[in-house]
Structure 1
Amino acid sequence: MSIRVPLLIGLAVAATAGACAPYEAEPVSVYQWERKVQEVERREAERQRLCQTLDKESARYERECAGVKS
């Protein structure tokens, strides 16, 4: 019984750590902020282009294009 408690705690900690998002440092300089903003804008434009080419009746369109302005 005494071995089970630490084992269960260890498993709970491992499961929780696996569910957390990886650490990404916030930009510090103006250059880093500009690069981050450009990356976000590039991803959004890429997502909009993808959504324009997908069939609007498909499950993939519903999954990937929720909230995208056409």
Structure 2
Amino acid sequence: MFPDFVSFDFLLKIIFIFSFLILINILYKLRNNKVMDWVTVIGFKIEIGCSVFIICSIFTIYIIHFFL
């Protein structure tokens, strides 16, 4: 499925670091934005949804790869 020079564990580590940086970004925005307009709130909810989807897909791929 992947090329020989890209291992599955390396790919998981890259995706995990990327999702961790997204979560840090969300927490930073929560701390700094006390008053948000509705456009910022909608974009913020989309960003939270995307990061939760990325993290859930990481764990699903991890479980499928190591238990099947």
TM-score (norm 2): 0.43
| Structure with higher RCO (Cα < 8 A, 6+ apart) | 2
Structure with more of its chain in helix, by fraction:
2
Bigger CA radius of gyration: 1
TM-score (norm 1): 0.42
